[in-house]
Structure 1
């Protein structure tokens, strides 16, 4: 067993916490697509983004709640969902290449949906895939809690069959007008005590685990946890992009 934890985590569980399960899923995109992208000297992370392999969870959006699947991503900060009107979800040829569009969000069926920015959502990932659409506010039902007025991306042009839950820092959201992430609002609305989360894998071969927001479960590990500080200033990468919005540290 092991704990994979991000910085900002403390060595004792806090009073408030929210827990959601996740599962490992493997998806193989078409061989031609993988081969074409893999020839570009991309990293394993980019390849996982391309093929859809990773850890997935579910939560609900809107009133009444609509259940949606998400890929958990610690390298980005925006949480977004495919709209029922997204191109990939209405094109069988795209789905044959990129994967079946399993869950969508129908904004017309939510009484708490509020448009924030039409065409304001536009994010590009490491593998150069791009998702675009609108920003909106709605209620997010996560585990046993309901987060009011959470800003999310609504994908209208998408190359992923499921949405992504970005667990990164709010400084890295894909818009100049910064907004509070799900983790930020869990703190602000009093559901957890601090902006931290932990990931528990039953073992390295397990197909399931747990995300715990605001706490760690001391029964899940043996020994002492080591605490590492986040970098206080920007970290330049080889491509000269700022890393100020990432969980960056010096080892």
Structure 2
């Protein structure tokens, strides 16, 4: 890609990035001078030690629940560490955070990465555009030290975003993808693959425990499974396509009637999606069956009706995973209740495909096994 440096400006076909030419004294140097660096790096951003599990091979990262819409955890990037709130997303594979070169409205409300303050930052003259269902980001590629709890990844590829469209009101600064390498930007290695390939974790697995009972208490764990977070034995499902965390689903039923996935279909297990999503025509049928009626951009129901509505059962690999009405409706502060089913997937996939988002994953503890390409599910505690 052609690029040009003029008075500290780097021009990349679609990217225009200001690269300061001077450096200031870093926090790392200051801490080292005062013999405080080791203690600083041994602790996370809250000043508490990370690994709270009995198994030293498992690294736990706390997640905060924002109104049952998104789960966010803290990471740091750079040396000394700069803190960011990111969504841990199984539906993508890249890490991006906003940078000091960003002038979008989004960046005025979020933390931004400053490469000038880091002694370990490496710039690459490559413009990156990342498209999501909700919007897109534009930035450039860099390499840095990334810390997730007590895990430290050196030279990790990430995107320093300088424009965000469609993310103005999200509570997180950036996203950390945990999907397969085929989803990542060409020529880069995702974070989990670096953890796995460099022997930084004892087993090539990670797992999610998502809860709606309180703001704190949710977890993502790396390197193993803390079985205190689920009931019964894990049931394993082969990954049908190593791109997304995609599996084969048998059917979807309500009161014994098949309402979706009539001849089998595909499902993507996605921690970065709030809803249960599927083809619009099938979602509209389900909305009618659960007495939800259009109300603006949502489907609404009388909250008093929820207790009388049946569970919707997702049958996967021969096992039933019920989702009760209390889970597939959301009660709002104004006393109204809306359906957590959404359509719109018919144009994104060649065959019938569903997304099992946080509505499903709050009920079922999920394990993602890259060594054997399978997903484990069990009822969450």
Matching of residue 111 in structure 1 with residue 138 in structure 2: no
Instruction: Give the aligned partner of residue 17 of structure 1.
Output: 58
Q: By how many angstroms is 1:15 displaced?
A: 7.0
Matching of residue 185 in structure 1 with residue 194 in structure 2: yes
SS, match of residue 101 in structure 2 = coil
Instruction: Give the aligned partner of residue 132 of structure 2.
Output: 125
SS, match of residue 228 in structure 1 = strand
Instruction: Give the aligned partner of residue 44 of structure 1.
Output: none
Query: In 2, Cα distance between the equivalents of 1:135 and 1:221?
Result: 38
Larger radius of gyration: 2
CA contact under 8 A between 1:80 and 1:154: conserved in structure 2? Answer: yes
Matching of residue 70 in structure 1 with residue 74 in structure 2: no
Q: By how many angstroms is 1:73 displaced?
A: 1.8
TM-score with structure 1 setting the length: 0.69
CA contact under 8 A between 1:113 and 1:138: conserved in structure 2? Answer: yes
Unpaired segments ≥5 residues, structure 1: 1-12, 27-47, 89-93
Instruction: Give the aligned partner of residue 5 of structure 1.
Output: none
TM-score with structure 2 setting the length: 0.47
Aligned 1:142-157 pairs, distance under 5 A: 142-157=148-163
Q: By how many angstroms is 1:104 displaced?
A: 1.1
Aligned 1:126-141 pairs, distance under 5 A: 126-127=133-134, 129-141=135-147
Aligned length: 198
Q: Which has the higher strand share?
A: 2
Q: By how many angstroms is 1:80 displaced?
A: 0.5
Higher relative contact order, chain-length normalized (CA < 8 Å, sep 6+):
1
Query: In 2, Cα distance between the equivalents of 1:205 and 1:240?
Result: 33
Q: By how many angstroms is 1:153 displaced?
A: 0.9
- Computed over aligned residues only, the root mean square deviation of the Cα atoms, in angstroms, reads 3.1
Spell out, residue by residue over 1:202-241, the C-alpha distance to the aligned partner (whole angstroms, 9 max, x if none): x432222111012111122221110000014788984365
Instruction: Give the aligned partner of residue 36 of structure 1.
Output: none
SS, match of residue 62 in structure 2 = strand
Query: In 2, Cα distance between the equivalents of 1:100 and 1:226?
Result: 45
CA contact under 8 A between 1:59 and 1:143: conserved in structure 2? Answer: yes
CA contact under 8 A between 1:14 and 1:214: conserved in structure 2? Answer: no
Aligned 1:170-181 pairs, distance under 5 A: 170-173=181-184, 175=185, 177-181=186-190
Q: By how many angstroms is 1:167 displaced?
A: 1.6
Matching of residue 214 in structure 1 with residue 230 in structure 2: no
Instruction: Give the aligned partner of residue 59 of structure 1.
Output: 75
Q: Aligned match of 1:86 in 102, 111, 120?
A: 102
CA contact under 8 A between 1:17 and 1:191: conserved in structure 2? Answer: no
Query: In 2, Cα distance between the equivalents of 1:56 and 1:186?
Result: 20
Unpaired segments ≥5 residues, structure 2: 1-53, 247-265, 267-344, 356-367, 376-381
Change (3 A) 1:249 1:17: closer
CA contact under 8 A between 2:236 and 2:374: conserved in structure 1? Answer: no
Q: By how many angstroms is 1:184 displaced?
A: 0.8
Instruction: Give the aligned partner of residue 168 of structure 1.
Output: 179
Q: After the TM superposition, which segments of 4 or more aligned residues of structure 1 sit over 6 Å from their partners?
A: 233-237, 246-250
Change (3 A) 1:101 1:153: same
Query: In 2, Cα distance between the equivalents of 1:223 and 1:112?
Result: 45
CA contact under 8 A between 1:170 and 1:178: conserved in structure 2? Answer: no
Instruction: Give the aligned partner of residue 228 of structure 1.
Output: 237
